[in-house]
Amino acid sequence: MLELISEHVCYGGVQRFYRHDADAIGLPMRFSVFIPPAPAGALLPALFYLAGLTCNEETFMTKAGAQRVAAREGLMLIAPDTSPRGAKLDGDCASWDLGVGAGFYVDATEPPWNAHYRMFSYIVELQQLVVAELGADPARIGICGHSMGGHGALVLALRRPDLFRSVSAFAPIAAPSRCPWGEKAFGAYLGADRAAWAGYDASALMAGLRAPFPQGILIDQGLGDKFLAEQLHPEAFEAACKLAGQRLALRRHAGYDHGYYFIASFIEEHLRFHRENLG
């Protein structure tokens, strides 16, 4: 059951914030949705946006400036939270890159995280919820994300192309098995066996596929991003796409950093990319 927290008229549509009991998490979760102006009962194309470390369901909706374009394009936007809240696990608030605000969109297998940190399954659950309750067209849903959320978007799309028909990312953690953020999170959530990490590593997943998104994948990366060299590794995903015969537009932009000024600069192009591919 959806609990409406707040509602705001926005560009002729409506911006809403919801809470609901999430089966995959075992706790209440929050998400936001922008519903563009549309005839009553219309099935709408939709885009999931997965946010990065320390963010929540409000970050994208308040910082990216996406609603203006989404209203024009007739595109629903959905932004989930980035982790469970209120699990009260030992250590879940000890650092900014593990635990609260840092779910990494994986289903944890290691205690204590496996009790509630099942973000991969939660995104799948939320996709089904917005189809059933909010009028998203199940045949026209894409996924996008930033940083940790870019990692999540790529992995969700590659593992569940039946649910997500288009994919893009901003500065994704493209090879988490080989960067400090990913090694810390995967080691805690998934355990020491690195073979188990491959199922949540977009570069590893892509290398075993054959052009899963023939319409292409769009990634934007700022060259002024302080995390680029150590944490993001877009060149690994680029090499995996070449191996898989996957069309990839990896656009590198001089001067842009890792933040939302970068995202706001190119969000219109991402929304148009998804709208064109979703039909």
Sign for the CA dihedral angle at 13, 124, 248, 101 comes to positive
**107 catalytic, yes or no?**
no
Query: CA–CA separation, 66 vs 243, rounded Å?
Result: 33
**8 catalytic, yes or no?**
no
Q: Which of 116, 151, 233, 258 is catalytic?
A: 258
C-beta of residue 190 within 8 angstroms of C-beta of residue 106: yes
C-beta of residue 71 within 8 angstroms of C-beta of residue 12: yes
Rounded to 10 deg, the angle between the 119-134 and 148-159 helix axes is 70
C-beta of residue 233 within 8 angstroms of C-beta of residue 266: no
Q: For the chain, report the end-to-end CA distance as a whole number of angstroms.
A: 30
Structure tokens at 66: 């996406």
Q: Which of 147, 166, 168, 203 is catalytic?
A: 147
Q: Which of 92, 201, 220, 225 is catalytic?
A: 225
Task: List CB contacts of 251: < 8 A, sequence separation 6 or more.
Answer: 218, 219, 220, 221
> What amino acid is encoded at 63 in this protein?
K
Which residues are known catalytic residues? Answer: 147, 225, 258
